[in-house]
Structure 1
Amino acid sequence: MSDGERGSGECPLNGLRYPLAYQTAWEGRRPLGIMIENHPDARPQYGLSSADVVYEAVAEGGITRFLAVFYCDRGTEAVRAGPVRSARTYFLDWLSEYGRYPLYAHVGGAYCDQRTGVGCLNGARADALGQIGRYGWAGYNDLDEFQIGAPVYWRDFGRGVSLEHTMFTDTQQLWRVAARRALTDVDAEGRSWTRQFTTWRFADEARRPPAGSAHTGVRIVFWNSAPGFEVEWIYDSVTGLYRRIMGGLPHVDPGTGQQITASAILVQFQEESTADDGYPGNVRLLYGTLGAGQAKVIQNGQVTDATWRKMARWSRTLFRDRYGREVRVQPGKIWVETVPLDGSVTES
């Protein structure tokens, strides 16, 4: 989109200005989060380049998963997204930052089986489906494929991979389901989703580093024992964007044919632990999403040491610099990378 096509409508999620037609579209809906997997058989994924904000964290076994949040970008155009995968509890905490009853699309999720006790030990802390029920989301803003099915969700058998890596959906169909449930920009009681939403502070303009002082990029390692899931973000000094490398290869979204880019990467270091819930292999994970911790803000060719803070499930994760000032985020596509305390971020 050229500067001449931009209007005065500023996206509250990413700070970009879009044509007024886009603003008209987003003002009639609410943020939509879609769980997209990152198993090698799930690549290439559709939809990531069209999300306003993307959260990435390990789901199990060192394999990361994405929560792609859609609201402003692409206006009324349907965005194919997937492969869609199951819910995890920590992604619920991050999605809860997007106002009252954010839409959540997924295929099932971590659970507690009361009949067998699987997933129920130690307080069933990884029971994402149970939490969805307790939050009052089930059958309302929760858009579980198990409850909706085709044609909103469909399988692409032509990918030649295992069944679990073939589920897709599209954003416009999901927003239509929500509208039938009286969930547009307001809920069934007429309350706007923005009542519980805090936007990040966005920079007024790009602040490019002095000539010769910009880095080449950064490398993020989630688990040292899981090669193939490390991420590189390569800085383009001409555009001011970071280009994503996944497992050593350019990470391309086939829906747009373009390499995934970001204007800002917000890294939050959080304690990772196993749920110890009785699930086979003890593979389900938990993250310390509430509280505070160390962070790094990557934008404009530089890395800034920072801290993150989130005090309640529905409160915004805020990033502050070493002086305690809230970081001004560069407008554009934003990625939030949750890295375990023993993970690493290195600058090149």
Structure 2
Amino acid sequence: MATVDGATCRRPGRRFRASRGRGPARRGVHPGRGTATASALAAALALTLAVGCTNGPAPADDGRGTDRPASRTDTGTAAVGQVLAVKIDNVRAARPQTGLDAADVVYVEQVEGGLSRLMAVYATRLPKTVGPVRSARESDLELLRQFDGPALAFSGAQGKLLPLIDKEPLEAVTPQDAEDAYYRGTEKASPHNLYLRPHRVLPSAPGEAALTTGFRHGPAPDGGTPTRSRTVRYPSARFTFTWSPERRGWEITTDGAPTVTADGRRLAPPTVVLQYVDVRRSGYHDVLGNPTPYTETVGSGTAEVLRDGRSHDVRWLRPTATDGTRFTTRDGTPVAFAEGQVWVVFAQRP
């Protein structure tokens, strides 16, 4: 049985078929378990274990590469398609991450031991490399149902969670399912050195329309409170977002250190959402016995939207898991975000 964070390797029953230029798997239709012979399966398993669960050669790759533009229709609007969501390590040994700055949305969640983990969602461009890639959590499944058959890249999951992943309307992209899409780097120690090549999962970025309906761009709401910085604390992690007028974004500090990309650039998303939710124990735990938190993202509550150097008190509403999260002012007016990357930090409801 697999443990959280891939202490033991095991893939979900539903496999992702890497595109290799053929286009993503058709949304709403999931690959089956195949009809290979026993000998072919044995050979595939041997290759899987060699590639997915051990350190392999690491080609030089800084993650910048060539961004793939969003696909467009003849009318100039983005075509709806399959987003790529990647679970990204966020402990000190995993930083700096690669490809995080290319994400349209970055979700921040609490995991075992009060630590944090990220889920980066890519819709308008695909970086050359993303990582380090780590394991999935139960909360991720509910969060991802707002997207249309997303591809979820992760390194593994708790053994009892795998059957649930198998039933979800998503494409599981693990080193065992798409071995040629992953490689092991050499600059960080395992397990903080697994990287994904997104262009081997999706042939192109689907476009902004593939994002949840809750993320809309436009002018800032009226009012708001001038704000220099905001800090969110988990039991063993903290994030500070400090407004930079020069960069028109919120520079991020994680656990007291500047959050930078692999090439040293400071991350400064134009919009940060502090979404107050219920965080409870799930029925899962890590290899040390620490309970896995479950972040409730369906329901309603309060949030703060940070943009343009101001904080706006808003409400959030997500009636069902297949709905996007809507953010509104107190009088029900939809709240728009600034153009560019959005960070959504799930914080415990007061």
Q: TM-score, normalised by structure 2?
A: 0.71
Q: 1:262 to 1:143 in 2, by over 3 A?
A: same
Residue 216 of structure 1 aligns with an amino acid whose one-letter code is R
CA contact (8 A) 2:315 2:327 kept: yes
Residue 200 of structure 1 aligns with an amino acid whose one-letter code is F
Q: 1:144 to 1:193 in 2, by over 3 A?
A: farther
**Superposition deviation, residue 216 in structure 1:** 1.7
Q: Report whether the alignment pairs 1:338 with 2:346.
A: yes
Pairing of 1:151-230 with structure 2 (within 5 A): 151-159=180-188, 161=189, 163-176=190-203, 197-204=212-219, 214-223=226-235, 226=236, 229-230=237-238
2:143 aligned residue: 94
Q: Secondary structure at the match of 1:61?
A: helix
Q: 1:209 to 1:80 in 2, by over 3 A?
A: farther
Residue 222 of structure 1 aligns with an amino acid whose one-letter code is Y
**Superposition deviation, residue 311 in structure 1:** 1.6
1:61 aligned residue: 113
Q: Report whether the alignment pairs 1:264 with 2:264.
A: no
2:48 aligned residue: none
Query: CA–CA distance in 2 between the matches of 1:174 and 1:136?
Result: 17
Q: 1:23 to 1:296 in 2, by over 3 A?
A: same
- Give the one of 323, 326, 331 matched to 1:323: 331
Query: CA–CA distance in 1 between the matches of 2:320 and 2:252?
Result: 31
Query: CA–CA distance in 2 between the matches of 1:45 and 1:310?
Result: 30
Query: CA–CA distance in 2 between the matches of 1:28 and 1:326?
Result: 22
Q: 1:195 to 1:262 in 2, by over 3 A?
A: closer
- Give the one of 142, 153, 159 matched to 1:105: 153
Query: CA–CA distance in 2 between the matches of 1:65 and 1:48?
Result: 12
Q: What are the Cα deviations for residues 282-314 of structure 1, in whole angstroms up to 9, with x where unaligned?
A: 421112221111211111111111121112212
Q: Secondary structure at the match of 1:158?
A: coil
Query: CA–CA distance in 2 between the matches of 1:199 and 1:317?
Result: 5
Q: Report whether the alignment pairs 1:274 with 2:307.
A: no
Query: CA–CA distance in 2 between the matches of 1:202 and 1:54?
Result: 16
Q: Secondary structure at the match of 2:177?
A: helix
**Superposition deviation, residue 89 in structure 1:** 1.7
RMSD: 2.9
Which piece of structure 1 moves more, 273-282 or 320-329? Answer: 273-282
Q: Report whether the alignment pairs 1:38 with 2:90.
A: yes
Query: CA–CA distance in 1 between the matches of 2:337 and 2:317?
Result: 15
Residue 134 of structure 1 aligns with an amino acid whose one-letter code is K
1:283 aligned residue: 291
Residue 97 of structure 1 aligns with an amino acid whose one-letter code is Q
CA contact (8 A) 2:285 2:292 kept: no
Q: TM-score, normalised by structure 1?
A: 0.72
Query: CA–CA distance in 1 between the matches of 2:279 and 2:98?
Result: 28
- Aligned sequence identity (%): 23
CA contact (8 A) 1:208 1:301 kept: no
CA contact (8 A) 1:22 1:73 kept: yes
Q: Secondary structure at the match of 1:230?
A: strand
Number of paired residues?
Answer: 277
Structure 1: 5+ residue stretches without partners: 1-20, 113-126, 186-191, 343-348
CA contact (8 A) 1:29 1:175 kept: no
1:232 aligned residue: 240
CA contact (8 A) 1:45 1:253 kept: yes
